Structure 1
């Protein structure tokens, strides 16, 4: 069990670093809002996080 938790933690940190490298600080904020919203079952946080990530994915002028 501790090995599985360690692997999941490493994966989560790696994914967070990938998002930050690709989309900057706003990507991390959007991912955090999305995660918090899903865990807390808060539709507002989930929607705001999703909107931020979608806006970052579409990029300017596309």
Structure 2
């Protein structure tokens, strides 16, 4: 349960941080890079929650 909470907080903070810069800088290439990173991050979070991995 603590892995889910800490992971959700980390994903939320990363989303806010990355999307802030994507909106502020308005670069098409930057949007692609940030969206790919967000996709990989969310996929990894989902995969680790589904498999119950403990990365500590």
TM-score, structure 2 as length reference: 0.42
TM-score, structure 1 as length reference: 0.39
